[in-house]
Structure 1
Protein backbone atom coordinates (compact mmCIF):
# COMPACT_ATOMS: atom_id res chain seq x y z
CA UNK A 1 0.00 0.00 0.00
CA UNK A 2 1.39 3.40 -1.00
CA UNK A 3 -0.97 5.64 0.96
CA UNK A 4 -4.11 5.46 3.07
CA UNK A 5 -6.55 8.23 3.93
CA UNK A 6 -10.07 8.24 5.36
CA UNK A 7 -11.46 8.43 1.80
CA UNK A 8 -9.06 6.26 -0.23
CA UNK A 9 -6.31 3.69 -0.30
CA UNK A 10 -3.61 3.77 -2.97
CA UNK A 11 -1.80 0.58 -3.98
CA UNK A 12 1.18 0.03 -6.26
CA UNK A 13 0.76 -3.05 -8.43
CA UNK A 14 3.76 -5.23 -9.25
CA UNK A 15 4.51 -8.72 -10.47
CA UNK A 16 5.56 -11.14 -7.70
CA UNK A 17 9.09 -11.27 -9.13
CA UNK A 18 9.37 -7.48 -8.74
CA UNK A 19 8.10 -7.52 -5.17
CA UNK A 20 10.40 -10.19 -3.76
CA UNK A 21 13.65 -9.00 -5.36
CA UNK A 22 13.95 -11.99 -7.71
CA UNK A 23 16.18 -11.53 -10.73
CA UNK A 24 15.69 -13.30 -14.06
CA UNK A 25 18.92 -14.26 -15.87
CA UNK A 26 19.79 -11.93 -18.76
CA UNK A 27 19.85 -14.62 -21.43
CA UNK A 28 17.50 -16.28 -23.87
CA UNK A 29 15.18 -18.53 -21.91
CA UNK A 30 14.44 -21.67 -23.94
CA UNK A 31 12.11 -24.46 -22.85
CA UNK A 32 14.12 -27.50 -23.95
CA UNK A 33 17.73 -26.39 -24.42
CA UNK A 34 20.54 -26.58 -21.89
CA UNK A 35 23.56 -24.32 -22.57
CA UNK A 36 25.88 -26.23 -20.21
CA UNK A 37 28.97 -27.90 -21.66
CA UNK A 38 28.52 -31.66 -21.61
CA UNK A 39 30.60 -33.21 -18.82
CA UNK A 40 31.58 -29.71 -17.70
CA UNK A 41 31.33 -28.32 -14.17
CA UNK A 42 27.69 -27.19 -14.46
CA UNK A 43 26.61 -30.45 -16.13
CA UNK A 44 28.41 -32.62 -13.63
CA UNK A 45 28.01 -35.89 -15.55
CA UNK A 46 31.05 -38.15 -15.19
CA UNK A 47 29.53 -41.55 -15.99
CA UNK A 48 29.76 -43.96 -18.89
CA UNK A 49 28.57 -43.15 -22.44
CA UNK A 50 24.78 -43.21 -22.60
CA UNK A 51 23.39 -41.61 -25.76
CA UNK A 52 24.28 -39.70 -28.91
CA UNK A 53 23.18 -36.16 -29.75
CA UNK A 54 19.82 -37.49 -30.95
CA UNK A 55 19.18 -39.25 -27.60
CA UNK A 56 19.73 -42.67 -29.19
CA UNK A 57 21.42 -45.17 -26.83
CA UNK A 58 25.12 -45.82 -27.33
CA UNK A 59 28.03 -47.26 -25.38
CA UNK A 60 30.59 -45.89 -27.87
CA UNK A 61 32.63 -43.07 -26.28
CA UNK A 62 33.13 -41.53 -29.74
CA UNK A 63 29.37 -41.20 -30.26
CA UNK A 64 28.59 -40.10 -26.70
CA UNK A 65 27.29 -36.55 -26.98
CA UNK A 66 24.58 -34.66 -25.12
CA UNK A 67 21.50 -33.48 -27.01
CA UNK A 68 21.29 -30.51 -24.60
CA UNK A 69 17.61 -31.43 -24.14
CA UNK A 70 15.81 -32.47 -20.98
CA UNK A 71 15.65 -36.08 -22.22
CA UNK A 72 19.44 -36.18 -22.57
CA UNK A 73 19.86 -34.92 -19.03
CA UNK A 74 17.35 -37.44 -17.67
CA UNK A 75 19.07 -40.30 -19.51
CA UNK A 76 22.35 -39.51 -17.77
CA UNK A 77 21.32 -38.37 -14.31
CA UNK A 78 18.05 -40.31 -13.91
CA UNK A 79 14.47 -39.27 -14.61
CA UNK A 80 13.67 -38.86 -10.91
CA UNK A 81 16.94 -37.16 -9.93
CA UNK A 82 17.48 -33.48 -9.19
CA UNK A 83 18.73 -32.51 -12.64
CA UNK A 84 21.42 -29.93 -13.37
CA UNK A 85 19.42 -28.97 -16.49
CA UNK A 86 20.18 -25.40 -17.57
CA UNK A 87 17.00 -24.85 -19.59
CA UNK A 88 13.75 -23.28 -18.46
CA UNK A 89 11.15 -26.05 -18.68
CA UNK A 90 8.35 -23.72 -17.57
CA UNK A 91 8.58 -21.34 -20.53
CA UNK A 92 8.39 -21.53 -24.31
CA UNK A 93 10.75 -18.78 -25.46
CA UNK A 94 11.33 -15.45 -23.73
CA UNK A 95 14.11 -12.88 -23.96
CA UNK A 96 14.84 -11.26 -20.64
CA UNK A 97 17.08 -8.27 -20.13
Structure 2
Protein backbone atom coordinates (compact mmCIF):
# COMPACT_ATOMS: atom_id res chain seq x y z
CA UNK A 1 0.00 0.00 0.00
CA UNK A 2 1.39 3.42 -0.96
CA UNK A 3 0.75 6.88 0.46
CA UNK A 4 -1.12 7.71 -2.76
CA UNK A 5 -4.12 5.58 -1.84
CA UNK A 6 -4.38 7.22 1.59
CA UNK A 7 -4.31 10.63 -0.04
CA UNK A 8 -6.98 9.56 -2.54
CA UNK A 9 -9.26 8.18 0.19
CA UNK A 10 -9.10 11.54 1.98
CA UNK A 11 -9.70 13.55 -1.18
CA UNK A 12 -12.88 15.60 -1.43
CA UNK A 13 -13.59 14.00 -4.82
CA UNK A 14 -11.97 10.54 -4.86
CA UNK A 15 -12.26 8.40 -7.96
CA UNK A 16 -14.49 5.32 -7.91
CA UNK A 17 -13.63 2.47 -5.57
CA UNK A 18 -12.82 -0.78 -7.37
CA UNK A 19 -13.01 -4.23 -5.73
CA UNK A 20 -10.82 -6.87 -7.37
CA UNK A 21 -11.18 -10.57 -6.60
CA UNK A 22 -9.05 -13.66 -7.17
CA UNK A 23 -10.76 -17.02 -6.72
CA UNK A 24 -7.99 -19.59 -6.24
CA UNK A 25 -9.20 -23.11 -7.07
CA UNK A 26 -5.68 -24.60 -7.30
CA UNK A 27 -6.47 -26.43 -4.04
CA UNK A 28 -8.65 -28.68 -6.22
CA UNK A 29 -6.38 -28.53 -9.26
CA UNK A 30 -8.38 -25.75 -10.90
CA UNK A 31 -7.46 -22.29 -12.25
CA UNK A 32 -7.13 -18.82 -10.79
CA UNK A 33 -10.15 -16.66 -11.66
CA UNK A 34 -9.69 -12.89 -11.71
CA UNK A 35 -12.83 -10.74 -11.65
CA UNK A 36 -13.96 -7.22 -10.82
CA UNK A 37 -17.25 -6.20 -9.25
CA UNK A 38 -19.23 -5.22 -12.34
CA UNK A 39 -21.48 -2.76 -10.51
CA UNK A 40 -18.38 -0.68 -9.71
CA UNK A 41 -17.05 -0.63 -13.26
CA UNK A 42 -18.48 -0.86 -16.76
CA UNK A 43 -16.18 -3.59 -18.09
CA UNK A 44 -12.97 -5.53 -17.64
CA UNK A 45 -10.05 -3.76 -15.97
CA UNK A 46 -6.31 -4.32 -15.65
CA UNK A 47 -4.34 -3.81 -12.46
CA UNK A 48 -0.73 -4.76 -11.87
CA UNK A 49 -0.57 -6.32 -15.33
CA UNK A 50 -3.50 -8.68 -14.67
CA UNK A 51 -6.88 -8.47 -16.41
CA UNK A 52 -9.97 -8.78 -14.19
CA UNK A 53 -13.21 -9.83 -15.89
CA UNK A 54 -16.33 -7.83 -15.06
CA UNK A 55 -18.86 -9.94 -13.16
CA UNK A 56 -21.97 -9.29 -11.09
CA UNK A 57 -20.80 -9.80 -7.51
CA UNK A 58 -22.57 -9.32 -4.20
CA UNK A 59 -20.21 -9.40 -1.22
CA UNK A 60 -21.77 -9.05 2.23
CA UNK A 61 -21.45 -9.93 5.91
CA UNK A 62 -18.23 -8.06 6.64
CA UNK A 63 -19.68 -6.18 9.61
CA UNK A 64 -17.78 -6.69 12.87
CA UNK A 65 -19.92 -7.35 15.93
CA UNK A 66 -19.64 -4.94 18.85
CA UNK A 67 -19.42 -8.00 21.09
CA UNK A 68 -16.19 -8.98 19.38
CA UNK A 69 -17.57 -11.63 17.03
CA UNK A 70 -15.77 -12.28 13.77
CA UNK A 71 -17.57 -11.46 10.51
CA UNK A 72 -19.28 -14.26 8.54
CA UNK A 73 -19.06 -13.04 4.94
CA UNK A 74 -20.93 -14.36 1.93
CA UNK A 75 -20.26 -13.97 -1.76
CA UNK A 76 -22.86 -14.28 -4.50
CA UNK A 77 -21.72 -14.57 -8.13
CA UNK A 78 -23.92 -14.24 -11.19
CA UNK A 79 -24.42 -17.54 -12.99
CA UNK A 80 -25.98 -16.11 -16.13
CA UNK A 81 -22.99 -16.64 -18.45
CA UNK A 82 -22.38 -20.22 -17.32
CA UNK A 83 -18.74 -19.60 -16.35
CA UNK A 84 -19.14 -20.24 -12.64
CA UNK A 85 -21.47 -23.17 -13.33
CA UNK A 86 -18.80 -24.73 -15.55
CA UNK A 87 -16.22 -24.32 -12.77
CA UNK A 88 -18.53 -26.05 -10.28
CA UNK A 89 -19.37 -28.83 -12.73
CA UNK A 90 -15.65 -29.49 -13.17
CA UNK A 91 -14.21 -28.90 -9.70
CA UNK A 92 -17.17 -29.38 -7.35
CA UNK A 93 -18.52 -26.92 -4.78
CA UNK A 94 -15.07 -25.28 -4.29
CA UNK A 95 -15.07 -25.91 -0.53
CA UNK A 96 -11.61 -25.18 0.85
CA UNK A 97 -10.64 -22.84 -1.98
CA UNK A 98 -9.54 -19.29 -1.15
CA UNK A 99 -10.87 -15.92 -2.23
CA UNK A 100 -8.68 -12.82 -2.18
CA UNK A 101 -9.97 -9.27 -2.42
CA UNK A 102 -8.07 -6.03 -2.88
CA UNK A 103 -9.59 -2.56 -3.13
CA UNK A 104 -8.17 0.32 -5.06
CA UNK A 105 -9.34 3.48 -6.81
CA UNK A 106 -10.08 3.79 -10.51
CA UNK A 107 -7.27 6.31 -11.03
CA UNK A 108 -4.66 3.67 -10.07
CA UNK A 109 -5.76 1.06 -12.65
CA UNK A 110 -3.41 0.18 -15.52
CA UNK A 111 -3.59 2.63 -18.38
CA UNK A 112 -4.44 5.62 -16.20
CA UNK A 113 -1.97 8.51 -15.85
CA UNK A 114 -1.57 7.71 -12.12
CA UNK A 115 -1.47 3.90 -12.51
CA UNK A 116 0.11 2.36 -9.41
CA UNK A 117 0.03 -1.42 -8.78
CA UNK A 118 1.01 -0.89 -5.16
CA UNK A 119 -1.88 1.46 -4.36
CA UNK A 120 -4.46 -0.86 -2.83
CA UNK A 121 -6.02 -1.97 0.45
CA UNK A 122 -5.67 -5.64 1.38
CA UNK A 123 -5.50 -8.32 0.33
CA UNK A 124 -8.39 -9.65 2.40
CA UNK A 125 -8.31 -13.45 2.35
CA UNK A 126 -11.27 -15.77 2.84
CA UNK A 127 -11.88 -19.50 2.58
CA UNK A 128 -14.96 -21.09 1.05
CA UNK A 129 -16.73 -23.07 3.78
CA UNK A 130 -19.82 -24.28 1.92
CA UNK A 131 -22.01 -23.63 -1.09
CA UNK A 132 -25.10 -22.07 0.46
CA UNK A 133 -27.34 -21.66 -2.57
CA UNK A 134 -27.33 -22.49 -6.27
CA UNK A 135 -29.94 -21.12 -8.67
CA UNK A 136 -29.98 -20.27 -12.34
CA UNK A 137 -29.34 -16.53 -11.72
CA UNK A 138 -26.60 -16.85 -9.07
CA UNK A 139 -24.53 -19.09 -6.79
CA UNK A 140 -23.80 -18.16 -3.16
CA UNK A 141 -21.06 -19.37 -0.81
CA UNK A 142 -20.47 -18.95 2.92
CA UNK A 143 -16.93 -17.80 3.64
CA UNK A 144 -14.69 -17.61 6.66
CA UNK A 145 -12.18 -14.83 7.21
CA UNK A 146 -8.54 -15.92 7.20
CA UNK A 147 -8.24 -15.04 10.88
CA UNK A 148 -11.22 -17.30 11.67
CA UNK A 149 -9.54 -20.52 10.51
CA UNK A 150 -8.32 -23.25 12.81
CA UNK A 151 -4.61 -23.05 13.52
CA UNK A 152 -4.22 -19.67 11.82
CA UNK A 153 -1.49 -17.50 13.31
CA UNK A 154 -0.74 -13.82 12.89
CA UNK A 155 1.05 -12.64 10.85
CA UNK A 156 -0.05 -15.04 8.12
CA UNK A 157 2.66 -13.90 5.70
CA UNK A 158 6.20 -12.86 6.46
CA UNK A 159 6.92 -9.27 5.45
CA UNK A 160 10.14 -9.21 3.42
CA UNK A 161 11.32 -5.98 1.85
CA UNK A 162 13.40 -6.98 -1.17
CA UNK A 163 12.29 -10.53 -2.04
CA UNK A 164 9.28 -11.52 -4.13
CA UNK A 165 7.50 -14.58 -2.72
CA UNK A 166 5.05 -15.19 -5.59
CA UNK A 167 5.13 -18.66 -7.15
CA UNK A 168 6.71 -18.50 -10.61
CA UNK A 169 5.85 -20.56 -13.70
CA UNK A 170 7.51 -23.97 -14.11
CA UNK A 171 8.91 -25.48 -17.31
CA UNK A 172 7.34 -28.88 -18.08
CA UNK A 173 9.81 -31.14 -19.90
CA UNK A 174 7.01 -33.49 -20.96
CA UNK A 175 4.89 -30.88 -22.70
CA UNK A 176 7.76 -28.52 -23.59
CA UNK A 177 5.68 -25.63 -22.29
CA UNK A 178 5.36 -23.58 -19.12
CA UNK A 179 2.98 -24.77 -16.41
CA UNK A 180 0.97 -21.89 -14.93
CA UNK A 181 -1.39 -24.00 -12.79
CA UNK A 182 -0.06 -22.74 -9.47
CA UNK A 183 1.75 -19.61 -10.65
CA UNK A 184 1.02 -16.33 -8.87
CA UNK A 185 3.40 -14.21 -10.93
CA UNK A 186 1.48 -12.96 -14.00
CA UNK A 187 4.50 -13.06 -16.33
CA UNK A 188 3.69 -15.14 -19.42
CA UNK A 189 6.15 -13.70 -21.93
CA UNK A 190 8.15 -15.66 -24.50
CA UNK A 191 11.52 -14.38 -23.30
CA UNK A 192 13.26 -16.41 -20.57
CA UNK A 193 15.79 -15.12 -18.04
CA UNK A 194 18.49 -16.56 -15.79
CA UNK A 195 19.00 -16.00 -12.06
CA UNK A 196 20.80 -12.71 -12.84
CA UNK A 197 17.89 -11.38 -14.93
CA UNK A 198 19.80 -11.83 -18.19
CA UNK A 199 17.92 -12.99 -21.33
CA UNK A 200 18.52 -16.63 -22.27
CA UNK A 201 17.27 -18.87 -25.09
CA UNK A 202 16.68 -22.04 -23.04
CA UNK A 203 13.22 -21.84 -21.39
CA UNK A 204 14.03 -24.78 -19.09
CA UNK A 205 16.57 -22.52 -17.35
CA UNK A 206 14.06 -19.72 -16.77
CA UNK A 207 14.22 -18.79 -13.08
CA UNK A 208 13.33 -15.61 -11.16
CA UNK A 209 15.93 -13.69 -9.18
CA UNK A 210 13.05 -12.55 -6.92
CA UNK A 211 14.38 -8.98 -6.87
CA UNK A 212 12.75 -5.84 -8.27
CA UNK A 213 15.16 -6.17 -11.19
CA UNK A 214 13.41 -9.46 -12.01
CA UNK A 215 10.12 -7.59 -12.54
CA UNK A 216 11.80 -4.77 -14.46
CA UNK A 217 13.41 -7.22 -16.89
CA UNK A 218 10.13 -9.00 -17.60
CA UNK A 219 7.59 -6.16 -17.54
CA UNK A 220 9.72 -3.14 -18.39
CA UNK A 221 11.00 -0.44 -16.03
CA UNK A 222 8.29 2.02 -17.07
CA UNK A 223 5.37 -0.39 -16.53
CA UNK A 224 3.49 -1.45 -13.38
CA UNK A 225 5.49 -4.14 -11.56
CA UNK A 226 3.52 -6.93 -9.81
CA UNK A 227 6.28 -7.37 -7.23
CA UNK A 228 5.39 -9.79 -4.43
CA UNK A 229 7.64 -8.22 -1.80
CA UNK A 230 7.24 -5.13 0.36
CA UNK A 231 9.72 -2.53 -0.96
CA UNK A 232 7.90 0.22 0.93
CA UNK A 233 8.70 -1.30 4.31
CA UNK A 234 11.17 0.93 6.16
CA UNK A 235 14.47 -0.57 7.19
CA UNK A 236 15.07 -0.82 10.92
CA UNK A 237 18.34 -1.05 12.79
TM-score by length of 2: 0.27
Counterpart in 2 of 1:30? 160
Give the CA deviation at 1:86: 0.6
Matching residue of 2:104: none
Q: Which runs of 4+ in 1 moved over 3 A?
A: 22-25
CA distance in 1, matches of 2:189, 2:122: 33
2:168 & 2:197 partners in 1: Cα distance? 13
Distance, in Å, in 1 between the alignment partners of 2:215 and 2:122 is 25
Contact 1:34–1:68 (CA under 8 A) maintained in structure 2: yes
Structure 1: state its 5+ residue gaps.
1-21
After the TM superposition, which residues 16-95 of structure 1 pair with which residues of structure 2 at under 5 Å, given as runs?
26=155, 27-39=157-169, 40=180, 41-91=183-233
Deviates more, 1:44-53 or 1:84-93: 84-93
2:106 aligns with none
TM-fit CA distance, 1:38: 1.1
Q: CA deviation at 1:23?
A: 6.7
Instruction: Note the residue ranges of structure 2 that are not aligned, 5 or more in a row.
Output: 1-120, 124-153, 170-179
Aligned length: 74
Q: Secondary structure at the match of 2:223?
A: coil
The structure that is strand-richer by fraction is 2
Higher helix proportion, which one? Answer: 2
Distance 1:23 1:84 in 2: 15
SS in 2 for 1:35: coil
**Which one scores higher on RCO, CA 8 angstroms, separation ≥ 6?**
1
- 1:93 Cα shift? 6.2
Distance in 2, matches of 1:84 and 1:23, equals 15
Q: Secondary structure at the match of 1:62?
A: helix
Cα distance in 2, alignment partners of residues 37 and 86 from structure 1: 9
